[in-house]
Amino acid sequence: MMREQTAKPFPWRCPKCLKRAVQPNVLPEYQAKAKHDGRLHEFTIPALQVARCQACGEVLFTNETDEQISRALRENLGLLQPEQIRALRAERTQQDFADLLGTATETISRWETGVVIQSRSMDKFLRIFMTLPEAEETLRQPRGASVPNEWAKAVSPNALPAFQAPFSWDAMFEVSYETPPPAPVETPYGLAA
Ligand SMILES: [Zn+2]
């Protein structure tokens, strides 16, 4: 199986037998395998659009094939499709939307064009964003302003023992040293510092 990325009119020249006999074709009940979030997923596509050489039978994947597999994978995993993410962004710029979600403008662009599939955790985040108007309000507050006081109290008493008054460098070193200090080196003039 080979991959053909160009959009030139059919018939294409076959990369295997070199005959100009490659035509659009459909593979029924195609067993697709695709990776997402580090896991391999297997699913069936009822009718996969490919190109196929009528002379030697070589199957070629086109851009449309890739897109079809990608859409089927999203559907299989219950993830938002590119146009749904685009609709969710609505009037916001990609930059503004990226800032809100804590990601890069390029990432938003890649989700919307379908080049990249969002992670499952980001997809859950997007769904909360979609269904709860308060989510955006919270995210637009200055960082930390939305953290309830109880959370701050819960972590403060013992989190950083070295910083409890009075501050001392010795206490600081006790908690932060991961490797012992180098042993003194012996020189002709005695021990080096
Ligand atoms: Zn061929």
For the chain, what are the domain ranges? 2-77, 82-140
Residue 63: what residue type? N
Which residues share a beta bridge with 191? 186
> For residue 33, what are its two tokens?
């395998």
Distance 49 CA to ligand 1 centre (A): 17
Distance 39 CA to ligand 1 centre (A): 34
Distance 65 CA to ligand 1 centre (A): 19
State whether residue 12 is helix, strand or coil.
strand
CATH of span 82-140: 1.10.260
Distance 52 CA to ligand 1 centre (A): 8
Instruction: Give the per-residue pLDDT at 133.
Output: 84
Per-block average pLDDT, block size 10, for the chain (193 residues)?
70 97 97 94 97 97 94 96 96 95 96 95 93 88 67 58 52 52 64 57
Which residues share a beta bridge with 39? 36
- ∠ CA 60-62-64 to the nearest 5 degrees? 140
Which residues share a beta bridge with 11? none
Q: Is the omega angle on the peptide bond into residue 9 within 30 degrees of 0, that is, cis?
A: no
Instruction: Give the per-residue pLDDT at 187.
Output: 64
Distance 160 CA to ligand 1 centre (A): 69
Per-residue burial over 106-123, b = 16 or more CB atoms within 10 Å of its CB, e = otherwise: ebbeebbebeebbeeebb
> For residue 140, what are its two tokens?
């637009």
Distance 8 CA to ligand 1 centre (A): 17
Distance 33 CA to ligand 1 centre (A): 25
Distance 44 CA to ligand 1 centre (A): 26
Nearest one of 17, 14, 18 to 52, comparing CA atoms: 14
CATH for 2-77, among 3.10.20, 1.10.10, 1.20.58, 3.30.310? 3.10.20
Distance 50 CA to ligand 1 centre (A): 14
* Most distant CA pair in the chain, distance: 87
